[in-house]
Structure 1
């Protein structure tokens, strides 16, 4: 979905990487070539200077040259010597002059007898120094080695100048420069292939995504991880934290996520099971975990890439949040069940009334309506005054209607009274206890002729009391403790034995006690005692 529309005009990653690599390669090669040619030019210049000076010194010390200055025609002897030396050394010129800078030897015979040019003879003629200079002569700019010629008595009688033209040095540099240009072109062509290969491999490693696609995915990931209600923690295969959203920081009461990214998960959660997920490569669903005083529900899932485990992620949520949702769902379910039972019961009553009217038994129909209305109003008034809590009264009203549907006599003891459940108590668990005990009683009397159930509720003193007794078969003494085990039932049918287990767990969560004994109605009597304060029962033990 990213490759359509406005994104098509953006530069592709492969093109951008190729251009960047080639630009960098071209700049580096150009700088290196320039430095190399500069060093080469300086090196050649230094070598030429040394050759020119050495040759000038050597010629100035030749006896035949100093002796030639004592003759009447020095040029006759000096010209052959100078030309021979020039040709053997490769110099552009060897010039020999007098103390007045008049040429005695020169590559161009026509210039013999004329003054030397350049103006750089003073140090040799006046101070007797041998040195290198750069000046423009008749043949052009040159590097010149200068040395004085001395007579036998040490007197300076002339000067020797050996010159190498600068343009010859540049010719050598240009030759190397041309080679470097061809080499640079070859390297750039190789670089194109390498850059394309590298850019394609880079793009392959990021799943073929373009930078703007990665940016959008990252932005979306950040928004998703911060918007979910669950706390999220992810680790890599080295057990180091790679993701920690704000919800996790709040839940764990730690610093910002940036502080923990890259640190071992054991430092943040010593009792986490994420490293075990890495080892077993198996997900862990709906596991309970306690952090401080907070009970959490955790899901842990391994992260795979090409069937190779790369890490693991855990999502946390407060157990109270899930319990709250369960409670609301249970309330809705109970409300719906109550409405269904009430609808069914009223449907039967309406059918009966309709039949009486059709038989013209108007007085009997009126009596039935008045009786039903009085019974319903009496029950409503009882629940309003004795059990004003809407959650409890709604549950009981629904169970009463269901009892009528099942032809069970469900009676709420007239002395029952609960003004309100403690606000700190988990009301959902209390409803679970009462609702499941009544349902268990329905099941117990389902096969009996006498189907009676009695419920007593009280909030007197420091405790809440629930008593539910029935006229069923009761509980054998051997099964008194087993009935609270998960999926254990005295009936032979499958999918039973869960209700009393849930009751036991809910009672335990509320720090209460439950016991089962023989009922005066002939069946079982379940008694539940729950402290209004969590410490009440503990103080009495």
Structure 2
């Protein structure tokens, strides 16, 4: 039954509802009104026949005709009562004597016969009253009035009556107009329901309520499951929608129901949603600090049919995005390192194959000793000081990349870097070292003498990283912009490396600066990282 009802269209539901309500109300109202009309007609008839009976009983002609019941007087009495009956439109006027014998009657054949109905006894005892009884004309409202002579002796009574059938006929004429008006109202209600349903369908874009409910449930499910925080406000600045991810990122402890309906400035003090709504200009990829959390947000005004109705903000935690970027950067760097090593290994295999094929044994031995000696020296230098296997392997891979590009890459490591337990911090260090070394490789690639020096110094509380090259260096004009996201002197779709370096250093509460090369050619970056931030499980964001 519920399934069938849900499948009905909105138009059919509205028409059915209006029809049912009006039909039930029409029946109830009509029954009530007809009952009132019948009672009113009955009460009016009682009063009217009572008044007529009193007038006839007090008439001198009536008294004279009863006191002297001659043929002429009785004929005059019959004529008078019939005249009064026709004028007053009552159904019967009967005059009878103290023996209950009719002296007048609308049906002349009933004159001289005893009155019927059984309700006349009180009238013969001098009482005036009304009653409902069945006479010769059927059930009637009957009024009795005694007749007295000049000596105040009762000599008879008058009976004036109105049949209930006639009263009901008069009442039914009134009820017909009531039925017609109610039917007209029902027609108007059906027409209005059609117009209303059409207007509602237009507002709902032609969708049925069940379809709207499904869309709302789907939208709510999407908002709940997306990995972005979403906040929506209306034109007055009140929050109309917020998902759980937004509450988690912004560290809002209230229930969702408690937040909805609140002013956005009370929940998120330094939001720019209201400004975006007022200006009508969207803002994309903006960094913002809210409740101590740095987020990357998009703020867009909401327009419906060209009218501004509010604004929406979607955002992500910058810390999580940086970690994701660092993970991707780390994977790319691992792939680059493996590709470089594979390329270098293949080249060496070709040389070894050529020497062996030509039976140049001594040259082959010398070549192998040189390769093994160089790689052992390089690997030994890094692995002895860098105990973290991931960072050690990554730095060793840079030797292969440098040899491939013809670059002299020198490492100077002072101290020992223990293994790091937090993989995200390992990725942050790889992001810092990898970007600085790759930038230096790019800077010297077109030089004849390509040199890069990497100095690592690990003391009791600080890891110091210094990377310098003999490239063209960085101009004073570019110095203030190099850490901005998207800024690059190398062309489009660049300018993310140093931005990620700075973000990773901030995550580790570190510091980066350009070194003073004392008028030497090239560029030099110096990074200071506190070891307490590297070797703890969770980093406190600065």
Partner in structure 1 of residue 44 of structure 2: 47
1:95 Cα deviation after fit: 1.0
Task: Give the drift of 1:329.
Answer: 0.4
Shift of residue 41, structure 1, vs aligned partner:
2.0
Assess, with a 3 A threshold, how the Cα gap between structure 1 residues 534 and 416 changes in structure 2: closer, same or farther: closer
Instruction: Determine the structure 1 residue equivalent to 2:29.
Output: 32
Q: Relative to structure 1, is the Cα distance of residues 139 and 359 closer, same or farther in structure 2, using a 3 angstrom cutoff?
A: same
Map Cα deviations across residues 231-288 of structure 1 (whole Å, 9 max, x no partner): 2222233333222223334443333222333333333223222223322333322222
Moved more, 6-15 or 447-456: 6-15
Aligned counterpart, 1:3: none
Partner residue, 1:157: 155
Give the equivalent residue in structure 1 for 2:540.
Answer: none
Work out the CA distance in 1 between the residues paired with 2:95 and 2:278. 93
Matched, 1:14 2:32: no
CA contact (8 A) 1:234 1:241 kept: yes
Q: For the structure 1 residues 366 and 134, does the alpha-carbon distance in structure 2 shift closer, same or farther, using more than 3 Å as the test?
A: farther
Contact residue 454 and residue 468 of structure 1 kept, 8 A: yes
Secondary structure of 1:357's partner?
helix
Distance (Å, rounded) in 1 between the aligned partners of 2:377 and 2:508: 32
**Relative to structure 1, is the Cα distance of residues 158 and 424 closer, same or farther in structure 2, using a 3 angstrom cutoff?**
farther
CA-to-aligned-CA distance 1:89-131 (integer Å, 9 cap, x gap): 00000111223322221111221222222222344333x4433
Question: What is the rounded CA distance, in whole Å, between the counterparts of 2:417 and 2:267 in structure 1?
Answer: 45
Shift of 1:307: 2.5
Separation in structure 2 between the aligned mates of residue 241 and residue 417 of structure 1, nearest angstrom: 54
- CA gap 1:500/1:218 in 2 versus in 1, 3 angstroms: closer
2:405 aligned with 1:369, yes or no?
no
Distance of 2:245 and 2:46 partners within structure 1: 78
2:389/2:419 contact within 8 Å kept: no
* Structure-1 residue corresponding to 2:537: none
Superposed CA offset, 1:149-201 (max 9, x none): 22223333221111111111211233334444455444444444333232222
Aligned residues: 527
- Contact 1:469–1:521 under 8 Å retained in 2: no
Q: Is 1:299–2:298 an aligned residue pair?
A: yes
State how far apart, in whole Å, the 2-side matches of 1:258 and 1:493 are: 50
* TM-score for the superposition, normalised by structure 1: 0.86
Q: In 1, distance between residues paired with 2:64 and 2:384?
A: 149
* TM-score normalised over the length of structure 2: 0.86
Partner of 1:408: 407
Aligned equivalent of 2:212, options 210, 214, 233: 214
Alpha-carbon shift at residue 205 of structure 1 (Å): 1.7
Moved more, 89-98 or 407-416: 407-416
Matched, 1:79 2:86: no
- Measure the CA separation in 2 of the matches of 1:359 and 1:450: 33
Determine which of 234, 245, 248 is the counterpart of 2:246.
Answer: 248
Partner of 2:65: 68
Does the CA-based 8 Å contact 1:278-1:302 persist in structure 2?
yes
Q: Structure 2: how far apart are the matches of 1:7 and 1:94?
A: 65
Structure 2 residue aligned with 1:333: 332
SS at match of 1:220: helix
Matches within 5 A, 1:225-236: 225-236=223-234
C-alpha distance in 2 between matches for 1:48 and 1:438:
116
What's the secondary structure of 1:517's corresponding residue?
Answer: coil
Report the equivalent of 1:223. Answer: 221
Q: Distance in 1 between matches of 2:91 and 2:307?
A: 75
| Distance (whole Å) between structure 2 residues aligned to residue 169 and residue 351 of structure 1 | 125
Judge conservation of contact 1:480–1:516 (CA < 8 Å) in 2.
no
Q: Which residue of 2 aligns with 1:172?
A: 170
Distance in 2 (CA, whole Å) between partners of 1:389 and 1:8 is 68
Aligned to 2:323: 324
List alignment gaps of at least 5 residues for structure 2: 535-542
Q: How far apart are residue 142 of structure 1 and its match? A: 0.9
State the shift of 1:404 in Å: 1.1
Instruction: Work out the CA distance in 2 between the residues paired with 1:109 and 1:497.
Output: 124
For 1:57 and 1:220, how far apart are their aligned partners in 2? 83
Separation of aligned partners in 1, 2:132 and 2:234: 70
Contact 2:90–2:160 at 8 Å: present in 1 too?
yes
Shift in CA distance, 391/299, structure 1 to aligned 2, threshold 3 Å: farther
1:132 Cα deviation from its structure 2 partner: 2.3
Instruction: Tell me if the contact between 1:419 and 1:459 (Cα under 8 Å) persists in the aligned partners.
Output: no
- The question of whether the paired residues in 1 share the 8 Å contact of 2:6 and 2:210 is answered with no
SS of aligned partner of 1:290: strand
CA distance in 1, matches of 2:286, 2:409: 39
Displacement of 1:203 in angstroms is 1.9
Measure, in 1, the Cα distance between the counterparts of 2:157 and 2:173.
Answer: 34
The alpha carbon displacement at 1:378 in A equals 4.2
